[in-house]
């Protein structure tokens, strides 16, 4: 179940009582509140997929979030309403609200303004837990000052690895294809063009889905290295793609400003 948001600038906007909004009481009644009349709410980054934070909500918090478009929770420590960012300025702009199949937990699909965590980390989840392959001991790693152990989806983990290779350049004798590409613009651009051509050939030559996926992976990797060199993040690319949702590709291209190459 999904609800689309309308946005406000601050948490101070006037909020109507749930009874004044059509279907709001019925929607709130459908949520399976716990014995304390609360439910779990998870804020997830709309562009990166990162899980930003988890808190609790009551009826009033969900009602307010749906009206203001700003993530609002119920603070158990304060025993009352908590609009994230009202004090720090680090608001979380909610784009959509989703319920799970049992209707007892909620996702705020969001665009954060500043760090989501009170430690000033971009996400509250910066600690990883694993077992050591050698001795089987449990390892807990991570600090709020680093995203090294933050959970990331495949492409964003690759982006992190590319950046790590860049930072490690010159500090190790181990050869790095990524660093070689970064230091050779002609090679990097030629590889992006080459991989794009090979991806097209998988369709032209009917080489199958597996081959297409492989060539697409090559193209995406080399494109991401090129983006890194230019200081462009995947989050920025995702935002641009999201901006185009609902717009015809033909219309979007026609709306772009054309720069003349003819000398004055």
pLDDT in tens, 83-133: 999 999 999 999 999 999 999 999 999 999 999 999 999 999 999 999 988
Partners of 130 in the beta sheet? 139
What is the mean pLDDT of the segment spanning 75-82?
94
CA distance 177 to 200: 24
Q: pTM of the predicted model, to two decimals? A: 0.80
SS (H, E, C) 109-163: EEEECCCCCCCCCCCCCCCEEEECCCCCCEEEECCCCCCCCCCCCHHHHHHHHHH
Is 50 exceeded by the pLDDT of residue 8?
no
Positive/negative CA dihedral, 10, 13, 19, 24: negative
C-alpha 236: how far from its chain's center?
10
Segment 170-215, tens digit of pLDDT: 887 888 999 999 999 999 999 999 999 999 999 999 999 999 999 9
CA distance 20 to 66: 13
pLDDT at 11: 67
- The position carrying tokens 């790693």 is 141
Segment 127-157, tens digit of pLDDT: 999 998 888 999 999 999 888 888 889 999 9
pLDDT at 260: 47
Confidence of residue 74 (pLDDT cuts 50, 70, 90): very high
CA distance 88 to 189: 43
Segment 17-61, tens digit of pLDDT: 999 999 999 999 999 999 999 999 999 999 999 999 999 999 999
């Amino acid at each position: 179940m999904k609800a689309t948001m309308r946005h406000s600038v601050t948490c101070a906007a006037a909020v109507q009582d749930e009874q004044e909004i059509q279907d709001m009481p019925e929607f709130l009644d459908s949520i399976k509140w716990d014995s304390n009349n609360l439910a779990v709410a998870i804020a997830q980054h709309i562009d990166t997929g990162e899980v930003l934070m988890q808190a609790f909500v009551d009826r009033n918090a969900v009602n307010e979030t749906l009206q203001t478009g700003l993530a609002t929770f119920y603070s158990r420590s304060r025993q009352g309403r908590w609009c994230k960012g009202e004090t720090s300025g680090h608001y979380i702009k909610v784009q959509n609200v989703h319920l799970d199949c049992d209707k007892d937990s909620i996702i705020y699909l969001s665009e954060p303004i500043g760090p989501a965590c009170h430690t000033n980390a971009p996400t509250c989840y910066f600690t990883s837990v694993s077992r050591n392959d050698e001795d089987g001991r449990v390892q807990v790693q991570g600090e709020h000052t680093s995203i090294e152990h933050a959970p990331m989806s495949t492409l964003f983990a690759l982006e992190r690895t590319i950046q790590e290779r860049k930072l490690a350049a010159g500090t190790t004798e181990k050869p790095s294809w990524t660093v070689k590409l970064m230091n050779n613009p002609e090679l990097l651009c030629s590889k992006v063009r080459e991989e794009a051509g090979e991806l097209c050939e998988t369709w032209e030559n009917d080489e199958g889905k597996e081959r297409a996926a492989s060539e697409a992976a090559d193209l995406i990797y080399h494109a991401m290295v090129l983006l890194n060199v230019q200081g462009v993040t995947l989050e920025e690319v995702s935002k641009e793609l999201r901006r185009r949702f609902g717009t015809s590709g033909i219309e979007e291209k026609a709306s772009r400003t054309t720069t003349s190459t003819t000398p004055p």
